Amino acid sequence: MPADPAVTGRAVRRHVGVLLPWANVAVEEELPQLGEPGVVFHYARLVPASRTTAVDDSFWHGLRAAATGAVDSMRHLPLDATVLACTSAGFTGGPELPPGVITAFDSLTTTLHQRHVASVALATPYPEQVAQTEAEALAAHGIEVTANASLGLDDGYPHITTAQILTLCDGLPPAALAEADALVLSCTGWRTLTAAAALQARLRIPVISSNLALALATHTHSPAPGAAP
């Protein structure tokens, strides 16, 4: 039986609250693989009032509105950070989030700045207009988007295959990739671990997914509101 890290002192245990869109399955699969040893993730599912899963204003705003109750449901957990595991909800507006909650988009821009990434090629599953809105949001944070490719989907992200992601990224202009400091695979809802590894080996530039950015954000953020003392 493995030794308890809390007793041996060989690992620092951190507790992270994850506010999760109710149809998202990729985050629970990928975060434990991307997070540091000793990090425990606690999930609360967000159900928008519209009870929809397709990305649009009612979905994003519904997730943000549901965040207050979800944070309250974890108030007795010793949380070190709380994240909203939805990238597009971070750049499309809507109700204010509870204090201290960071979105996957916040995590993404923080990761890019910390790694001194000034320009990126962007790949997303989103409808083209949503992808363009994200490109503009990144530019507002001082990050140039050299190219932007999207699958044009508003739903069904768990069903996207690695082959689809690779084909999408193959369509990015070589010149734009040459200018980019990194490739961003935006969206927490599609599975990107295998594709990211293949793309990084192929392109020889960093590949940063939304879920990787979330995992990195949980290493450094201060205790979330409502955390038990």
| Residue range 75-120, pLDDT digits in tens | 999 999 999 999 999 999 999 999 999 999 999 999 999 999 999 9
State the Cα–Cα distance between residues 131 and 196, nearest whole angstrom: 19
Write out the two tokens for 158: 């768990």
Q: What is the pTM of this model?
A: 0.90
| 135, 111 contact by CB (below 8 A) | no
State the Cα–Cα distance between residues 174 and 11, nearest whole angstrom: 43
What Cα–Cα distance (Å) separates residue 195 from each residue in 1, 67, 129, 184?
Answer: 34, 30, 24, 12
Beta strands in the chain (DSSP E): 14-21, 39-46, 81-84, 102-103, 119-124, 144-150, 182-185, 207-209
Instruction: Tell me the pLDDT tens digit for each residue of 64-84.
Output: 999 999 999 999 999 999 999
